[in-house]
Structure 1
Amino acid sequence: MLTTRDLVLSALFAALVAGLGMAPPIPLGFLPVPITAQSLGVMLAGALLGAKRGGLALLLFVLLVAAGLPLLAGGRGGIGVILGPSGGFILAFPVGAFVTGLLAERFATGANPLRLFAVCVAGGILAVYAGGIPWLSVVAGMPLEKAVTAMVAFIPGDLIKAGVAAAAAAAVRRAGVLPTAHA
């Protein structure tokens, strides 16, 4: 059962992800998917809120985007964006936050930044890519192998975001300012 605290924290993290959309997207000329800061929010939500609240936060975010709110980087929003080349990544945000949170609850219960980095990579990168790459391949009409190869350009930035998320989550956990994922 969701508590008021769960709902408030989830809404706050949905707003955080929306705020990360204020950073302008970086377009890549060879791929119809821009580099954005919003996947950092996916990792933070999972690492700090846990599976249930983190997944809920990103589900709320995706629903707001689908409803037309311009919350994505570059002021984009709407069902057209969801159905476009980057839609699979956006739809995978809740899954990424849930996986990050689940792994954090099981394997990174303290403030160990290396373990938090690993769970951010697994949930915030691998899970999101698993949803986004096949979608990109289908919608953009490119072979799956080409879509996978094109995503290599995103890996360095995503690893940096995982490092930032892990360091921030470790600091917040050490400070004890958020309730535990099981609270």
Structure 2
Amino acid sequence: MHKRIMMIKGDITHLPVDAIVNAARTSLRSGGGVSGAIHRAAGPKLKKLCQQQRHQQGACPTGHAVITDAGNLPSRKVIHAVGPVWRWGWRATLKQSQLASAYQNSLLLAVEHGLQTIAFPAISTGHYHFPRLLAARIAITTVRDFLKSNPVISQVIFVCFSERDAAIYQTSLDFYLKGEDDLC
């Protein structure tokens, strides 16, 4: 039996899952990091789909997500989740809530579209400077809590590109999923 929540070190653009999540900008335009890698691997079709999405609905607010086809990727869909830009101070609680919402809204879209396997990058931890350990806690606990009441999704994979992120996510998974035999 496979783990329902797991972490792998690798390239999210190579995974043959139902959906991969793009750490997107509000404009849905390609950026650096994982967003740039996803757009490059998906080809020009993804850019066109994102433009169509923008024209239909406007910008995607922080904490929200939209779904498109995946272009040339081995996944069926791309869920574009907009995480917050981190800044220390009085808005830290809001930023944490927005990050949790980005994960939750991605999962809701997956359920709505009948997608069973989904892969997440470490949303907001690159160019948006969200503290990695805090981001891992939010991601893992949000996914854990969502899966407890949503059996449609059979597997969530956290995909970390760097050794540093992989170590943080694996340690966090071990801690936050302790005793959750139905999820790990």
Interval of TM-score (by shorter of Structure 1 and Structure 2): 0.3 to 0.5
Higher helix share goes to which structure? 1
TM-score normalised by L of structure 1: 0.32
TM-score normalised by L of structure 2: 0.32
Higher strand share goes to which structure? 2
Q: Which has the higher contact order (CA 8 A, sep 6+)?
A: 2
